[in-house]
Chain A
Amino acid sequence: MIEWLESRLGLRSAWTSATTRLTRPLPAGAGYRVTLGVAAATILLVQCCTGALLALYYTPTLDGAHDSVAVITQELRFGWLARSLHVWGMHLLVGILLLHLLAEFVRGSYRAPREMIWVAGVVLFAVIAAGVFTGQVLPMDQEAYQGLKIAGATAGPLGPLVIGSRDPTDATMMRFFVAHILLIPAAFIGLLVLHALLVGRHRLHGATAETSGDPTFLARCATASLVTIAALAILAFAWPKGLEPKADFTKSIAESKPLWLFLPLYQAKKMGPVEWFVLFGVPLLLVALPFLDRGQSRRLTLIAGFIVITAVAALGVMGATS
């Protein structure tokens, strides 16, 4: 077991190779597809910077949260920009990560010896989904309140652990704030470093001429970063994020749609056991994928994969149109 971990993770040799790795030639044959991960990492960096700015002015109390977000969005100079970048960054990040996941699935990049790259990536995605959810609660508008109630109900006996009581309190806000700005960033930074180091260790899948030293790969990564930043800026400037009215706890929960990322789950909740498949089955399948598919039948994996992807996407579309 330890031998296996060492051979895959190489923690001992990681440090010694880190310095040489940064200077060694990059593999050839890597198109723009492989820059998706770089684009996602770029957005994570933007999220950290804008998030830090937002955290400086945010008040994690039930009463003060919405007001402080209103001050950020409407009164603080360029506060709207920080928040719009943060919100659009979230949309773009999730979209790019889904594409990244899909692209690497199609190419079979998760196969040995790259299993842990894939697993780290899947866990990273789950952590980012948790970041999306906790971040959505922080402005404490009606959507946040409803999301919180639904999450509390979904968590069942764990619900009170999340919310604290029937209705959110100051403690709930502090919990979500700390999770959003401390625990989740710590988790994704660790996972991202692991993910990147492992890519460095095992080389990019499909990289053939390892010593060609193709400099355009680095250029492509830089270009991908810059294009991502430009796209994010255009989105934030063109459609700056507003602020819905403050949550009214006396209003009963009306049917309202969650964020698009959670639409499949929203639809599945109405369909009994399907909920458990989306909530646990799909993540488990994703994590287990490298260990299920050991290269026996490429076609079978792709067909099975696309059935699951189509099913989840269909749930999302149904959720959006219902």
Chain B
Amino acid sequence: MIVLIAALFLVQERADTPEACMKCHTEQANELKGSVHARETCISCHGTDEVVKNPRGTVSHRHLPTLKSWRGRNLVEDCAACHTGIYDAYRVSGHTIDTKKPLGEMKKGCLDCHAGDDPELTPGGRAHGIPKASRGAILNSCRGCHQTSSADYVSGRQLYQDQDVLDGRISAIEVAMRGRGSKPGVSVREVTAALAGAKRTAAELQIRQHGLQFKSLEELRASAAGPLEASYYSQSKKEKEFEGRWKYAVPFLMFVGASIVFVQLRARKGTT
């Protein structure tokens, strides 16, 4: 009997390659397609090496943790391996998960917001693409613990609203500035620099927001939004000024016109 079982293990074949998994899990494979996470293997999140192919051709992965059972660990360390900036920010938030604590006592981890809009985080949901967290998903997650009237919830919601306003202004000004760089009279240098700065800040906010330090986040946002609005305002003002350039041409043209009249009158006087 022992020999038989040993023999069974010997003929077992490892089947933990993504190609092997995706033969059956086509839905998850589709979700992964086009995501940066497509380069990860299945077991880098569902970590185990117990996926084996039985001699009969079936795959056994009884011990492979699904997302549901894996939720406690919530992959924070796995994500942090690449997303170091976000992890550094996240660690100063009050949401850091202590992975040593038993299930149920955990705070919020990556997948609480980044698993599509599905609050249930069902295995085989849209989570495999690891989408950007929507505002709805985030606030939904917040409401899991915080009262909607609480200061933390209000501050968080305000932060997201302000961030959306900044993003909106960046793209609106970018669209408005299109083609204006080739126009004469006014330089777009300042606005271009402010736009580049605001874009950098917006990207930084995307990372640093994971720390939930609302005050410094607001300061950072304002440091980009202020110069952007100021430079765009001064750009529009200078353009309006340039529109008024005729005020320089009119006296000159009047002078030239008067000269023509003078020349013609003198010429006529000379002939008579």
Contact = CB atoms under 8 A, between A and B. Distances in A.
B184 interface: yes
Given A230-B253, A243-B184, A237 B246 contact: yes
A75 interface: yes
Given A74-B184, A242-B183, A234 B263 contact: no
B260 A74 contact: no
Contacts of B100: none
Q: Which of A75, A219, A227 has the most CB of B within 10 A?
A: A219
Interface string B236-272: 0000000001101100110011011001101110110
Nearest to A73: B184
A112 interface: no
Interface stretch (B12-20, B156-164, B185-193, B213-221): B185-193
A147 to B, nearest CB: 18
A226 B260 contact: yes
What is the predominant secondary structure among interface residues of chain B facing chain A? helix
B119 interface: no
Contacts of A220: 267
B226 interface: no
B187 A233 contact: no
A305 B257 CA distance: 38
A245 B249 contact: no
Contact of A237 (B186, B187, B249): B249
A247 to B, nearest CB: 13
A105 to B, nearest CB: 29
A240 interface: yes
A70 interface: yes
A239 B119 CA distance: 59
A234 B253 CA distance: 8
Interface residues of A, number: 29
Nearest to B268: A216
Contacts of A230: 253, 256-257, 260
A280 to B, nearest CB: 37
A216 B266 CA distance: 9
A109 interface: no
A225 to B, nearest CB: 9
Contacts of B264: 219, 223
Q: Which of B184, B252, B266 has the most CB of A within 10 A?
A: B184
Contacts of A234: 249, 253
What is the predominant secondary structure among interface residues of chain A facing chain B? helix
B136 interface: no
B267 A215 contact: yes
A241 interface: yes
Nearest to B256: A230
A84 interface: yes
Contact of B270 (A215, A222, A226, A227): A215
A110 interface: no
A258 B265 CA distance: 44
B150 interface: no
A244 interface: yes
A240 B249 CA distance: 12
B121 to A, nearest CB: 47
Nearest to A141: B182
A119 interface: no
B181 interface: yes
Contacts of A188: none
A229 interface: yes
Interface in B138-153: none
Nearest to B258: A226
A67 to B, nearest CB: 10
Nearest to B238: A74
B263 to A, nearest CB: 5
A228 to B, nearest CB: 10
Contacts of B267: 215-216, 218-220
Given A216-B271, A233-B252, A234-B249, A241 B184 contact: yes
B244 to A, nearest CB: 11
Nearest to A217: B267
A133 interface: no
Contacts of A216: 267-268, 270-271
B159 to A, nearest CB: 37
25 contacts: A70-B187, A71-B187, A74-B183, A74-B184, A75-B187, A75-B189, A80-B185, A215-B267, A215-B270, A216-B267, A216-B270, A218-B267, A219-B266, A220-B267, A223-B260, A226-B259, A226-B260, A226-B263, A229-B256, A230-B253, A230-B257, A240-B245, A242-B183, A243-B184, A244-B182
Interface of A: 70-71, 73-75, 80, 83-84, 214-216, 218-220, 222-223, 226-227, 229-230, 233-234, 237, 240-245
Given A74-B188, A241-B184, 19 more contacts: A70-B187, A75-B187, A80-B184, A83-B184, A215-B270, A219-B270, A222-B263, A223-B260, A223-B263, A226-B259, A227-B260, A229-B256, A233-B253, A237-B246, A237-B249, A240-B184, A244-B182, A245-B181, A245-B182
